[in-house]
Amino acid sequence: MKSLFLVHSPVTYLTSVLVINELKIRREDAIIIFFEFKKIEENSTYKSISINEYYGSNKALKKFQNYFHYFNVINRIDRIVNTTIGEEKFIAYVPVLIFAGKALITHTNCISFNFIEEGLGHYYREETLESLSAINSRDSWRSSISKSIKTVSKEF
């Protein structure tokens, strides 16, 4: 069974490596998905993928076309998972329930998920009502552009 780690910061990356070692996950079963964080090229120990690779291109027109084709994070996450592991079942390890994390843990082949970071609230200087509620916490977990125009327009 595969273990997919969603990484959005250096701390999350280091936590992922520690979890892999602690749980003795086989190297071929550990896959690190980089989101909003540059993929670590030097790491040949674990398979790693950048979400941004799925709409990257050297040609400006193709890059523009791919950006809109894969603008929907859910489609991008689903494509990454399906391309990387096919129909194999997996366990997801997410730092917090950001939109990409929600998409990963609701994938049809995800059998369970675990949190691997303390959460966004720990990065605030003081606790406020706003810091305790996650961004887009009331949004649908697997939405589409037509269902969530407000959220999509804010992200765009």
- Total structural domains within the chain: 1
Range of the domain at 117: 2-155
Low-confidence ranges of the chain (pLDDT < 70): 37-44, 53-60, 62-64, 66-71, 118-156
pLDDT score of 35? 81
What is residue 125's predicted lDDT score, i.e. its pLDDT? 62
Q: Please check whether residue 94 is in contact with residue 4, taking contact to mean a CB–CB distance below 8 angstroms.
A: no
What is the predicted pLDDT for the residue at 72? Answer: 72
What pLDDT is recorded for position 96? 79
- Contact criterion met (CB below 8 Å) for 4 and 93: yes
For residue 53, the model assigns a pLDDT of 67
Q: What pLDDT shows up at residue 145?
A: 60
Which residues, in sequence order, are CB contacts of 84 under 8 Å at separation 6+?
A: 31, 47, 49
